[in-house]
Amino acid sequence: MTRYLARRLLLTIPVLFFVSLIVFSLITLIPGDPARIMMGEEASREALEVLRKEMGLDRPLILRYGIWISHVLRGDLGRSVRDRRSVMQTLLQKIPVTAELAVTSLIVAWAIAIPAGALAAWKRRSAIDYAATTVALAGISIPNFWLGIMLIYLLAVNARLLPPGGYVEPWIDLGRNLKLMVMPSIVLGTALAALVMRLLRSSMIEVLGSDYVRTARAKGLSDRVLIIRHALKNAMIPVATIMGLQLGGLLGGAVITETIFAVPGVGRLAVDSILTRDYPMVQGVVLFAALAIVAVNLAVDVVYAFLDPRIRLEERSA
Amino acid sequence: MMRGPRAADLALAPAAEERPRTRHTYGFRYLLRRFARNRLALVGLWVVMLIIVFAVFASWIAPYSPIKPDFVNLLKPPDTGHLMGTDDLGRDVLSRVIFGTRTSLLAGVISVGIAVMAGLPLGLVSGYYRGRLDDLLMRITDAMLSFPFLVLALTIAAVLGAGLDRAMIAIGIVFMPAFIRLSRGQVLSEREQNYVEAARALGAGDGRIIWKHILPNIISPVLVQASLATAAAITAEAALSFLGLGTQPPTPSWGSMLNFAQAYLSTAPWMAIYPGLAIFITVLALNLLGDGLREALDPRLR
């Protein structure tokens, strides 16, 4: 067990190294002069010189990476080129907004996917199964920016049921906050729901065919107890292990959803800073997204090792 | 070539072909026959072919120019003259949607082409030789897969600059790790097979073994992945264009059409409805096709 954890942690180090290298080189390898690109054609020679110095563009590459990474490790992601604010400060301010959206979307996704996936597997090859799998495929195929625009058209412009976009902190007006979260959560949640539903269906089919389920059925357990207590619990394992992938989908989707619904989170920050060529900010956002996913993947593996006796016992027998 | 799911055909098929003993007897024709039995997948195939026809013959099919403004007919709702209405510059939405198939298909095929051409050889070599190169490549792909793919694609596209060609390169780079991992995993199991050992015993070199013996055996899952990736790439290009980083106006692209439609949502909703519907149908058809191929390849998934 400890050996497994140690190995898993050690494996994270090179991944983190390459993540940092990718984030660093993305911006460093911009063709042309990054200072000129960031400040535009009309920037003065002096201003360009100052920015070049600040970014260390006059130094060799390896040294620049060393300086950058030593700052990052101390939590210093640099300053925004646009408003001179600390990238870290801005990120910390935006993260809770995206976190709320991620949680509400995950609730939407799992609320749709778990019953639908379980039912489709239980009634395999029935009309329900075909309907559920077809709807799931449609859910994967529907572009989230179109779904978002159509929801705004139907629910905000036509029916006037919901505000078309914006954001209010939950501690200022919880009711309005939740109202504003409905459409973004549906948009972000449906694509994820489709993915989770398909995964759950296939793992549930496997579980339902296993010996212990047959034994439980032979004991005379009702379908309800059988599905919920025995089958679903085990079928959820693969769904839980792809939490990292789900988070990736949520963060990628947040870029689009937050832009459409004017939600001031990390996704919107990513688009804004990319479109305004605020490269220190872009670096910060991209690094944050990758670190979040690496952390979730690590956490899932560690929790899994604690829960699964096969991993726990493997070391002893080896 | 491709036969329908007629009972007579199936009954006449030799038993050995119906129930192959090992994975390796899954020939291409066997795959096609299984695929043809899946009605939804066939629908997907027909729709994809129809879209290709639209893309190739866009200039003949489209009733109007997709680019020339018509200031007499601004924001006209759909009627018999303009089946999908007109946009803020008076351009026919239907014509722009039809020409948009070109942009989307091009983006899908080229970006997946880049990902496969770069990823497949890397995966083959990495899985065949193992060792340091393999370790290094796996850590790099691990790192690349740690980024949300749209965020990475957006950043690369932003660094390269706006434009369809650069968006395709960005999407291709982001999809590459998936193909490296897939082909590497396949090679890892193939290289232990007897036929590889037999080829080696007959004096075949590594290059010959990889290209002539292993590659044909792992190409099916790569094709499945490629068809599903094409669907994802089309969505990604539309997303980049929607955000202003992909195809630039006035070139018709479904993503950028949706971007401009946002401002006219209350007055001209048709500007948003049809391009989005086009993306949805295209991506759905490709996903049906890809899923059908995957199920044909791995019958346990049904």
Question: In sequence order, what are the residues at sequence separation of 6 or more whose Cβ sits closer than 8 angstroms to the Cβ of residue A158?
Answer: none
- When comparing pLDDT for A266 and B299, which is higher? A266
CA-based radius of gyration for chain A: 24
ipTM of the complex in this document: 0.89
Alpha-carbon distance of B27 to B262, in angstroms, equals: 49
In chain A, whose CA is at the least distance from the CA of B282? A141
Residue A197: name the closest of A103, A299, A304, A118 by CA: A118
- Give chain A's mean pLDDT: 88
Cα dihedral B219, B224, B229, B234 in deg (nearest 10): 120
In chain B, whose CA is at the least distance from the CA of A130? B40
pLDDT, residue B25, reads 47
Alpha-carbon distance of B55 to B234, in angstroms, equals: 14
- pLDDT of residue A156 exceeding 60, the answer is yes
pLDDT, residue B123, reads 95
> Which tokens in the block code for residue B81?
């003259």
pLDDT, residue A88, reads 96
Chain B residues closer than 8 Å to A27 by CB = 159
Alpha-carbon distance of A59 to A47, in angstroms, equals: 18
> Which tokens in the block code for residue B78?
């759909």
Alpha-carbon distance of A29 to B22, in angstroms, equals: 48
Chain B residues closer than 8 Å to A153 by CB = 265-266, 269, 272
What is the DSSP code string of A186-251? HHHHHHHHHHHHHHHHHHHHHHHTSHHHHHHHHTT--HHHIIIIIIIHHHHHHHHHTHHHHHHHHH
Residue B139: name the closest of A13, A73, A246 by CA: A13
Nearest-neighbour CA in chain A from B212: distance (Å)? 34
pLDDT, residue B13, reads 37
pLDDT, residue B20, reads 40
**Axis-axis angle for helices A279-307, B149-160 (nearest 10):** 160
Q: Tell whether A141 is within 8 A of chain B (Cβ).
A: yes
pLDDT band at A293 (very low <50, low <70, confident <90, very high): very high
pLDDT, residue B84, reads 94
pLDDT, residue A209, reads 86
Burial B275-293, CB ≥16 within 10 A → b, else e = bbbbbbebbbbbbbbbbbb
> Which tokens in the block code for residue A48?
């360009």
User: Cβ distance B291 to B221 under 8 Å?
Assistant: no
Mean pLDDT of A32-36: 72
pLDDT, residue B124, reads 95
- Look-up of token digits 């070391």: A315
Question: In sequence order, what are the residues at sequence separation of 6 or more whose Cβ sits closer than 8 angstroms to the Cβ of residue B74?
Answer: B86, B88, B89, B90
pLDDT band at A22 (very low <50, low <70, confident <90, very high): very high
Alpha-carbon distance of A165 to A257, in angstroms, equals: 10
pLDDT, residue A31, reads 67
SS3 of residue B248 by DSSP: coil
Which one of A21, A27, A286 has the shortest CB-CB distance to B151? A286
A-to-B residue pairs, Cβ atoms closer than 8 angstroms = 135
User: Cβ distance A6 to A301 under 8 Å?
Assistant: no
Q: Cα–Cα distances in Å, from A101 out to A10, A184, A189, A243, B189?
A: 32, 7, 10, 16, 42
Mean pLDDT of A204-215: 87
Alpha-carbon distance of A240 to A306, in angstroms, equals: 14
Chain B residues closer than 8 Å to A14 by CB = 139, 142
SS3 of residue B160 by DSSP: helix
Mean pLDDT of A130-137: 91
User: Cβ distance B256 to B4 under 8 Å?
Assistant: no
Amino acid at A212: Y
Chain B residues closer than 8 Å to A152 by CB = 265
pLDDT, residue A29, reads 72
pLDDT, residue B78, reads 94
The per-residue pLDDT for range A72-110, each reduced to its tens digit, is: 999 999 888 888 899 999 999 999 999 999 999 999 999
pLDDT band at A27 (very low <50, low <70, confident <90, very high): confident
Q: Among the listed ranges A55-59, A93-97, A101-105, A227-231, which one has the minimum average pLDDT value?
A: A55-59
- pLDDT of residue A317 exceeding 70, the answer is no
Which one of A150, A274, A294 has the shortest CB-CB distance to B158? A274
pLDDT, residue B19, reads 39
Residues of chain B with pLDDT under 50: 1-25
